[in-house]
Each structure stands twice: as C-alpha cells, then as structure tokens.
Amino acid sequence: MDTVVDFVGSEKANAEDCTTSNMSADPIVYQLVRVDGNGRLVPATEDEVMAVEDLLEIDKSNDTPDTLFEPCGSNKVQFEGSEGQPKLEDLEIGAEKPSMLPDPEMDCGEIDAQHEDRTPSLVPNASDSSVCQSGSAEGCSKLSGGLYENKTSKSAIGTGLNPDFSLLNGEVHLDSLGVKELQDTFKATFGRETSVKDKQWLKRRIIMGLTNSCDFSTTSFVIIDNRVVKKGKEEACKSMDSSVLVDCVVTSLRESHGSPPTCHDNQNENHSIVDGMKAQSSTFQDNYESEDANTNQRPTKRVRKPTKRYIEELSEGESQDSGAKVVSSVKHPSYDQLSGEPITSSEGCKPYTEKKRIQLEKEVKSKNMESSYKTSSDDDVATITTANGGIRRKHHRPWTLSEVVKLVEGVAKYGAGRWSEIKRLAFASYSYRTSVDLKDKWRNLLRASLAELPTGNGMQNSRKQVSVPIPAPILSRVRELADIHSHNDSHNRSVHVT
C-alpha cells in the first residue's frame, strides 16, 4: 500500500487572515490526509477516514485509555524533517503527535503559525471562575484532557443584542455526556457503532467527524441551540488550494434542555456570534436575491407522464418471484479487481464503487436468474443488524451527521437544485452519494423539517431514534433555506416588493 495516512492534528491556530480572534478557544481540528504519488498531501476520502478510524479503533482497544490524549503541553506542530513519510503504524491517536510532511505546498501559515499547546482552553477568559457552572462540577475541575469544543469568538460585533432564543443550552456538552451518549453521537456522526468507551477518544472523534472530511470551504458552522449558523469569511485563507480550515464548531449536538448547562462566561460571546450570524444571514439573503433561484416565485412543477417501462418491469418481476426480495449473494470474484480502492479495508463499509458493483450484480442476476436465489453468504453482509435489532439493506449508507451538515451547507452556498455542483464541491470526497442522492436526501430533510413544525415538539416523543436523528438546528436551517418560513415569528423577512 503506497498510501500513507497520517493525522495532521493541529489546533487550528489563529490564522491572521482567517480570524482576528485572540481567544485561545479555537477548536481543535483534525484533518486526515494522505500522501499522494507526488508527495503532496491530499485530503483523505471518507472511506479512508473510515478505514483509519477502524484502525484506530482496533488499536485503541489494545490500549489503555489513560494513555490516550494526554493533555500535555508541548504539542507544537513540528516538521518531522527527514523522518518524512509517516507510516500507518505510526498512527497514534493517543500520542496525537502532530506531524507534517515537509511539503512546501502545505507550508500553510496557520498550521505552524501559533501553536498553542494542546491544553484544553477551557477557560477562555480566565478571569471568570464561574465558567462551567454547568452543574457538572466534574467537568470543571477535571479540565484535564477535556476537549472543550466550544468556540466563542470571532464575531467582531459585540453589541449585546438579545437573540430571540436562549443560548444557554446551546453548548455542546460532550464533556457531560456519558459514554453511551457519546457512542450514540458517534454513531450519528459516522453512521456506525463504536465499542470504544473512552470518552476523550469519542469526543475527539465526534468533533473530528463534524469538522474534517475534506471540506475545503472555509465556511464555518456554528450550531447554536436552534440554528445552524454559518460563519467565517468565505475568502479567507484561500491562498492554499489544499488548505483545510474547517473552522467548524458545533455548540449544540444535543439539546440538553431542562438543565441548561452552560458556561455563563460565554454568554456574551454567544450573543456576539448570534449578532454576527444575523448579519450573515441577512447578507446571505441579499446575495441570493440576485439569484432568482431563491426568489419567491416558485417554479412550476414539472409534469411528467407515468413511467411505463418501470411499471412494467415491476409487475413483471413481481409475477416472477411473487414479491420475494432477491438478494444476490454471489461471491463476485472480480470485486477486488474492480475497485482499485486506495485502502483495502476489511469491513463492508466501503463500497467505493457502488455503481459498478450494482451493475455487476445486475448482470449476474440477469445472466442466471435462477441461480441468484442463493442465500447470502457473502462476507460483505447482505444485511446488517442495527442496535435496535432492525435490519438494513446491504448497500444502504446511512447519512451521517457530517454529511447532512455538508449538504445543508452546500445548499446554502450553491442553492437547492444545483446538486451536481454541490456534489462536486462539497462532496468531492464522498465517492458515493450521487447528485441524485443529494437531491433525495434534501427532499427528506425538508420533509423532516416540516414534520417537526406543526406539533412543535410532538415528534420528539418517538424514542426510537431510528436512523440518525437530525438535530433540530439543522432542520430549521433546512427550512430556512427552503424558503419556508414559519409565520410564527413574524420575521419580516424582507418580502420582496415586486
């Protein structure tokens, strides 16, 4: 395997051109990269990320959690010089030794600019000892290693305008989440289960999952309580084509209503952010005024004739196998050759070439219709059982949270309907997920967001969190983007005046 994977772990330093914040609470951003043939660092694909995660997970299980993620100070980014090529074996999630290849192209300022030590900047303003009076005194005293993925800064607007909603519960309290919850969140983020019980590790993974994955945009997302906020300068830091500056912060993963656990200290900061976001939002809309794609005039729906062939096919198939679902389980010998995947992973979580495979299956199926009635014995797992005991189809990729976020962001940027654009730009690293998939998912998101409205809260009753639950803030964002305004809050959304 000539693909080298390494974690470039780096605390996202205060790149001058990106943010003028002098806060030390910048989030820690990890980006999985690999070295391509030319020795350049290129962002790893989702599949690779997954594969590495698996490795790490395995690795992890042999490790004592205590050794993981030492909050040690001296973690400055250093070029490993002639040490050069990091190897997979070197991967140590625990040591977290940031390393970079001596690639001039990647000599981005922000990486080595100001590397503060990894000590969790739990107390942005040390002046305030009331930080984290969240009731989890533990979280406070136990700052050790506590990732405080809480970024509260950057907004220059400091006026104390009051937001419409409470921000107090908006923080991500990954810290206060239990292992189980973290695992759930992990699942939501990565779409798969994890057995790791180490909180630190889980937290880091989750945050990473939400931040990395080769999003080149410098757009940032902040989820504050009920909204997803896009922030960040679009053009900043664009000097490097491969710069990965996902300044993504999630301040709310779970709505921990009831007992608002929040650092009061950050309240002002949050207000600032909200202000900024409001401004953003308006400018955002302004920008989109120009594009008639988003104006109020909804294009008339396309009408279409019923699809004949498909119907015929369906009925035909039904008559043949009387509705029985046929799962082709033929062990295709050419799979491995078919997919020249960068990483050959063991688990079935990597149909890199979904299409090819499906087509191949079809071919096989059509060639010997009868023989395709075998029971699945494939290692690739025809069905996988979820935690709930349900079974899913073979090639169903649950949308992970980060994917959803990306999609929403993409729609925000390029507009709904420009699926191929979004696919190209925002989903470059997701080889699966066709533009059609994006479209479908968006449709579903819309439905979900709408379904949430009427009862206000009724939906939440469904305890079974089947399939990744989409955080309310994202849904409301979806609604926004879809130009569906709940007339409840009579926000004079500057209705166009003909």
Chain contacts with DNA (rule: CB under 7 A) = 299, 301-302, 304-310, 313-314, 354, 358, 362, 395-397, 399, 416-421, 423, 432-433, 435-437, 439-440
| Cβ 316 to DNA shortest distance, Å | 11
Report d(CA 56, CA 62) in Å as an integer.
10
The string over 437-474, giving b where at least 16 C-beta atoms fall within 10 Å of a residue's C-beta and e elsewhere, is bbbebbeebbebbeebeeeeeeeeeeeeeeebbbbbbb
Residue (of 172, 205, 214, 165) closest to 186 by Cα position: 205
| Cβ 436 to DNA shortest distance, Å | 5
Decide: residue 233, CB within 10 A, 0-12 exposed, 13-18 middle, 19+ buried. middle
Which CB, 74 or 300, lies closer to DNA? 300
Sheet (strand 227-231) strand order: 227-231, 220-224, 249-250
Residue (of 326, 152, 182) closest to 251 by Cα position: 152
Q: What's the chain's length in residues? A: 498
Q: With contact defined as beta carbons under 8 Å apart, do 283 and 289 qualify? A: no
Which CB, 70 or 421, lies closer to DNA? 421
| Cβ 370 to DNA shortest distance, Å | 20
Which CB, 45 or 256, lies closer to DNA? 45
| Cβ 222 to DNA shortest distance, Å | 27
Which CB, 137 or 358, lies closer to DNA? 358
Which CB, 45 or 226, lies closer to DNA? 45
| Cβ 213 to DNA shortest distance, Å | 16
The string over 286-324, giving b where at least 16 C-beta atoms fall within 10 Å of a residue's C-beta and e elsewhere, is eebeeeeebeeeeeeeeeeeeeeeeeeeeeeeeeeeeee
Which CB, 143 or 446, lies closer to DNA? 446
- The widest CA-to-CA distance across the chain, in whole angstroms, is 75
Q: With contact defined as beta carbons under 8 Å apart, do 193 and 387 qualify? A: yes
Which CB, 164 or 313, lies closer to DNA? 313
**281-284, long-range: CB < 8 A, 24+ apart:** 282/494, 284/230, 284/412
| Cβ 403 to DNA shortest distance, Å | 10
Which CB, 264 or 365, lies closer to DNA? 365
Strand (E) or helix (H) holding 61:
helix 46-61
Which CB, 376 or 420, lies closer to DNA? 420
Report d(CA 167, CA 175) in Å as an integer.
18
Q: With contact defined as beta carbons under 8 Å apart, do 52 and 235 qualify? A: no
Tell me which amino acid residue 133 is: Q
3-class SS of residue 201: helix
